[in-house]
Chain A
């Protein structure tokens, strides 16, 4: 038996780790990984409540979230590759402006 309260507390911790990583690290690839962690925490929350309420709506929503997340990551990684070719680094310190 897993109570949803337990799962929600765990996902809160996971989300916090992702958020703090996103704020603290300046490497764009690690920042993207932290976004993945945060989205996973949200997914876990949806699945926990869905299973608790015996509804499948949350599960279907998770499928959509995974699809959108994959699309987002593909675009983000392409942008990072293009940026690295332009500046020679993936650190966000030098990304004060996107033009040139």
Chain B
């Protein structure tokens, strides 16, 4: 169990690093799929099968498709001069060391019960419980979220229309 977690975590981290350092945009988008699928695998190991399915459907299925679509239509520009210098990446590496050191220092003393997905049993029961929670206690946030989606749709349509008129 722990071994497969380490494997998934390694794949996820390596793909995330490749997203950052890839020269070509389309490679970044494809490595992003690997990262998101590895996160879905870790969701399953933590006993959240439903969330893993949602992750694959929404992130790997639609968000990355959106990314690839935009990369294919607008993504071919010249690369920034700043990103070519080694000093810039040395700065990035030291920044990463400082931030992760701080986080590890803060999290080192944390305590918590271990997660054992198969022994948790009834992951299906927990999913049912989650659905009930969303549609009873959190009904108002859910409606606000659907209003947000509507606003986003109208906003994007307005944005496209504006651009066309200016042209």
Contacts and interface: CB of A to CB of B under 8 A. Distances in A.
**Do the two shown chains form a genuine complex with each other?**
yes
Interface of A: 1-10, 12-21, 23-27, 29-30, 32-34, 36-37, 40, 43-44, 47-54, 56-57, 59-60, 62-64, 66-71, 73-75, 77-82, 84-85, 88-91, 93
B16 A18 contact: yes
Contacts, number: 228
Given A30-B28, A60-B133, A1 B2 contact: yes
A27 B46 contact: no
Contacts of B19: 21, 30, 33-34, 37
A67 B123 CA distance: 22
Given A59-B48, A82-B162, 12 more contacts: A5-B112, A10-B13, A12-B100, A21-B19, A29-B25, A37-B35, A44-B39, A59-B126, A62-B48, A78-B155, A84-B77, A91-B77
